[in-house]
Amino acid sequence: MPIRLVQEKNDLTVYLQGEIDHHGARGMMLALDREVSARDPRELTVDMREVGFMDSSGIAVLLRCWRRQEETGGTMRVRNVPAQARRVFTAAGLEKIIPMDD
Amino acid sequence: MTAILNQATLLFPSKSSNESFARATAACFAAQLDPTLEELGDIKTAVSEAVTNAIVHAYPRELGVVTLRLRILEGGVFEVSVKDKGVGIPDVERARQPLYTTGDDSRSGMGFTIMESFMDWVRVRSLPGKGTTVTLRKRITPRMGGAR
């Protein structure tokens, strides 16, 4: 599974792993849907330090998580975004929607 | 007419597992211009978007051939074209708009926006029923001590 989870009380940290492209995005989305829904966290943190590459498929993955948190009254933030992924988020204006650390 | 200093062409079936192969190959070819890590990342991302479009949209029902043509042009310019013989794009202007997608909810509709912001030049030629060719160029900034 291209994700790793660390739960602390009501909060959940998800570590995305590997290269996020169209080929892998569907599997990652399904894994996130299943794991995040099962835990229903108050705060969801998506940690991207283990992501080696990300194209616009990653935007759809994160927006889906963000919508889920919005609908269930939770919050979401993204941290440790590698430089290449950061440029993709900036080009798409995603930082205006989802809070990103540093 | 700009001189072509080097060229390589790659043909592969429109399988999504070839997305990573295509962008890695493009980055390897571009490496001869001594790009920065950021420039290489931009090229990988833009190629990933263009190849994904061909795989997802050009051949929605069957596998087809995707042609990746890589070039080094005079003046330190990297050029990549991604060609398919798929369904074509009826309205290219509309397809290039941010958030526009005919894909499912795993697509963001930001592919062309990213190609445009990461590359210096983007050209889309498409004929419905005949196919699409997307050509991207990026000038790689010469660095101190870099052999060119």
Whole-complex ipTM: 0.93
pLDDT at B113: 94
- Interfacial A residues in 65-94 facing B (CB < 8 Å): 83-84, 87-88, 91-92
Which tokens sit at A38? 């099962």
Q: Please indicate, yes or no, if residue B2 is contained in any of the structural domains.
A: no
Whether the CB-CB separation of B105 and B40 falls below 8 Å is answered with no
Q: How confident is the model at residue A1 (pLDDT cuts 50, 70, 90)?
A: low
Indicate the range of A1-5, A80-84, B68-72, B103-107 predicted with least confidence: B103-107
Alpha-carbon span A28 to B51, nearest angstrom: 20
Check whether B103 has a pLDDT greater than 90. no
CB contact under 8 A, B114 and A83: no
Report pLDDT digits (tens) over A49-63: 999 999 999 999 999
Total structural domains within chain B:
1
Give the residue-averaged pLDDT of A15-37: 95
CA Rg, chain A, in Å?
A: 12
pLDDT at B107: 80
Chain A: closest CA distance from residue B3 (Å): 31
Check whether B94 has a pLDDT greater than 90. no
Residue range(s) defining the domain that contains residue B43: 8-139
Q: Please indicate, yes or no, if residue B146 is contained in any of the structural domains.
A: no
pLDDT at B44: 98
Of A35, A62, A60, the closest CA to residue A46 belongs to A62
Q: Please indicate, yes or no, if residue B32 is contained in any of the structural domains.
A: yes
Percent of chain B with pLDDT over 70: 97
Q: Does any CB of chain A come closer than 8 Å to the CB of residue B55?
A: yes
CATH number, residue B83: 3.30.565.10
pLDDT at B145: 60
Would you name the residues of B annotated as active-site residues? 49, 53, 107
Check whether A26 has a pLDDT greater than 60. yes
Report pLDDT digits (tens) over B48-93: 999 999 999 999 999 999 999 999 999 999 999 999 999 999 888 8
Q: Please indicate, yes or no, if residue B78 is contained in any of the structural domains.
A: yes
Neighbours of A21 (CB within 10 A): 24
Q: Please indicate, yes or no, if residue B21 is contained in any of the structural domains.
A: yes
Alpha-carbon span B37 to B47, nearest angstrom: 15
Q: Does any CB of chain B come closer than 8 Å to the CB of residue A59?
A: yes
CB contact under 8 A, A22 and B114: no
Q: Which residues of B touch A19 (CB under 8 A)?
A: 20
CB contact under 8 A, B110 and A92: yes
Q: What domains sit in chain A, N to C, each tagged with a CATH number?
A: 3-96 (3.30.750.24)
